[in-house]
Amino acid sequence: MSQVTELKSHPLVSHNLAILRNKNSDHHAFRTAAHRLSLMVIISATESLRTIEHSVETPLKTTHENVLAEEIWFIPVLRAGLAMVDVGLGLMPDAHVGFVGLFRDEATLTPKHYYKNLPDFTSMEHDCYILDPMLATGGSSCAAIDLIKSHHARNISLLTLISAPEGIKEVFAKHPDVSIFTASIDEELNDQGYIVPGLGDAGDRYFGS
């Protein structure tokens, strides 16, 4: 499949990216722009969710609407992925949340795994949304996908705010079945593994660290 959806052409996405990227945005401005962008990315990613027809009685007559047919799982990659969870739960209060804890070793740029809390997905009809604002080398996303797949997850999408072309290529090379939804595909990585133009360190800026 190897499908990437970029939302930057939407004026609201571009407007909020400008706030997110601005080095003078304080953590309150950064956080609220991250939430607005997460909302747009999650709405786009859930456009093709499977539904079943459901009859509903309005005060006037019986009609039909399509309701969600599967268990929805949000899986934030700690820490920065936490920025996107409440937005997802606001839209889908019945969704479940699993966790993967990873940090990138600053010298080697390789992900170090320190935590997970995931179910066995084998007998569950489900859709998994991995949440991480930044896809840089792709090491962390691939490690998160490996872990989730080791719990037999299927229908996996990766939702990010900013992605580097190098990271997208890496994810698709290792996991061609995963779809990526992102607000922006940026230019490149610099030699410290930061996305350019990017926004700096997403976790530090979101949490005001």
CA–CA gap between residue 33 and residue 15 (Å, rounded) = 9
At residue 89, the 3 state secondary structure works out as helix
Please state the closest distance from residue 142 (CB atom) to ligand PRP, in A.
8
For ligand PRP, which residue of 33, 72, 132, 205 counts as binding (CB under 6 A)?
132
For ligand URA, which residue of 13, 75, 136, 143 counts as binding (CB under 6 A)?
136
For residue 191, report the phi and psi dihedrals to the nearest 5 degrees: -75, 0
- Exposed e or buried b for every residue in 145-162, given b needs 16+ CB within 10 A? bebbbeeebebbbbbbbb
For ligand URA, which residue of 42, 46, 202, 206 counts as binding (CB under 6 A)?
202
For ligand PRP, which residue of 88, 111, 161, 179 counts as binding (CB under 6 A)?
111
CB atoms within 10 A of CB 48: 10
Q: Which amino acid is at 163?
A: S
Give the one entry of ligand PRP, ligand URA, none that residue 75 binds, where binding means its C-beta sits below a cut-off of 5 to 8 angstroms depending on kind. none
CB atoms within 10 A of CB 85: 18
Q: Which is nearer to ligand PRP, 8 or 104 (CB)?
A: 104
76 sits near ligand PRP (criterion: CB under 6 A)? no
152 sits near ligand PRP (criterion: CB under 6 A)? no
Q: Which residues contribute to the site for ligand URA (CB under 6 A)?
A: 134, 136, 194-195, 198, 201-203
